[in-house]
Structure 1
Amino acid sequence: MSQTQKNRITVDIYGVQYVIIGPESPSHIRQVASLVDEKMREINSMNPSLGTNKLAVLTAINAVNDYLHLVEKVERLEEELKRVKD
């Protein structure tokens, strides 16, 4: 088993503190937490009556949607690059 160093960082997301443990750098973990917090606050500003659980689910849906769009874009760019190289 590898001995990958793990960082332990406390972050604040939507007013709640979480301890995040992972191999990513502390700055990366803080950036991820900050983006989640921003997205939750953005969604809450448009839907102030949502409970925290629904807000968290909508935030996750938004994040996965953005991720899938990026995956599709990368795939298109890789295909284009392959055509250019051939």
Structure 2
Amino acid sequence: MSNPQKNRTTVEIYGQQYVILGKESLSHIRLVASLVDDKMREISSKNPSLSVNKLAVLTAVNAVNDYIMIKEQLERLQNELKKEKD
């Protein structure tokens, strides 16, 4: 079996460089990194005394919260569509 080609790119998040490897396009990887950087900077501006570790955890908590809310909304919409078809 062949593995799909992985893209490798270097991104900067909150002043640190990271090499990201993924099967998504380079533009997608850069977009994700940019959104993470933006969220970290937003949280940091409201809580400037946070350590980078705490800032990273809060950023992850925010991202997972957004993911869960969107997933629940998708499930509700899918259920509505299913009811309309029945």
- TM-score interval, normalised by the smaller of the two chains: over 0.9
2:63 aligned counterpart, secondary structure: helix
Displacement of 1:3: 2.0
Quote the Cα distance in structure 2 between the aligned partners of 1:45 and 1:7: 32
- The answer on 1:22 being equivalent to 2:25 is no
- Fraction of identical pairs, as percent: 71
Map Cα deviations across residues 53-81 of structure 1 (whole Å, 9 max, x no partner): 00000000000000000000000000000
TM-score (norm 2): 0.98
Displacement over 2 Å in runs of 4+: none
Aligned residue runs from structure 1 range 36-75, under 5 A: 36-75=36-75
Unaligned runs of at least 5 residues, structure 2: none
TM-score (norm 1): 0.98
CA RMSD of aligned residues (A): 0.6
Q: May I ask how many residue pairs the two structures share in their alignment?
A: 86
